[in-house]
Amino acid sequence: MSLKKTAKRFLWKAGFDIKTFTPTTHALARRQHILEYYRIDTVLDVGANTGQWASELRNDLGYKHRIVSFEPLPRAFEALAKAASHDPLWEVHPFGLGNTSEELQINVAANSQSSSMLGMLPAHIKSAPTSGYIGTEQIQVKRLDSIFETICQAGDSVYLKIDTQGYEEHVIDGAEGVLSRIDTIQVELSLVPLYDGELLIEDMCSKLRKKGYNLIALEESGFSDPETGHLLQVDAIFRRA
């Protein structure tokens, strides 16, 4: 056995997997390439939680342009604002996005990032027992097309990322009036029902295809059933044709 194969086997047994960081072999490198190739200069980070995804853009992918994050939960927003406080190109807003502009109730999960406007189904709790709901809060929700002109300018190359735990369809419906100005969309999608009433991956692909978007990339979310190994969610990237 070659030294290279021996090293790989040792790393796998130790719980590590090393991949060449290129767009052909690595999902993050592919997203980095997409951001650079299409000259994305404005990222809308919907469902920002404490800023994990935006920080990954900055620190791991080297994205140097504007990030606009939206997070309605007060405690998560406090951490988000702190993360963005020393970054002049990262602005944050304490409300969520949806298909209406009003005050709504959100279910708060024990792990925060699984909080959702929708009810959580048994398959989710089975695979992530610490994600169960522990209460509810009233939050402000706005349509993206009602505020788009205040955060984006003509000529911006906009990348819309949506991670709203089953509520993604509502965010897209609330952006209907400005989709023509959003060329790239990244959406977290479920392969099986995890939230009550969510749109599954095949239906979201069909919905966005009808709106003029093609699926160009998939990233594993890391959320899978620990018993069966079945993948439960992916991040899908769409580009306007």
Under 8 Å between Cβ of 77 and 112: no
Examine residue 191 and state whether it is found in any structural domain, yes or no.
Answer: yes
- CATH number of the domain residue 59 falls in: 3.40.50.150
**Domain total of the chain:** 1
Residue showing tokens 């702190």:
82
Examine residue 146 and state whether it is found in any structural domain, yes or no.
Answer: yes
Examine residue 103 and state whether it is found in any structural domain, yes or no.
Answer: yes
The Cα–Cα gap between 68 and 43 comes to 6
Examine residue 13 and state whether it is found in any structural domain, yes or no.
Answer: no
Q: pTM score, two decimals?
A: 0.91
Nearest to 186 by CA among 21, 19, 25, 57: 57
Q: How would residue 157 be classed by pLDDT, with cut points 50, 70 and 90? A: very high
Examine residue 2 and state whether it is found in any structural domain, yes or no.
Answer: no
Examine residue 23 and state whether it is found in any structural domain, yes or no.
Answer: yes
Examine residue 231 and state whether it is found in any structural domain, yes or no.
Answer: yes
pLDDT tens across 77-130, in order? 999 999 999 999 999 999 999 999 999 999 999 999 999 999 999 999 999 999
The Cα–Cα gap between 180 and 92 comes to 24
pLDDT tens across 45-56, in order? 999 999 999 999
**Domain span including residue 122:** 19-240
Examine residue 6 and state whether it is found in any structural domain, yes or no.
Answer: no
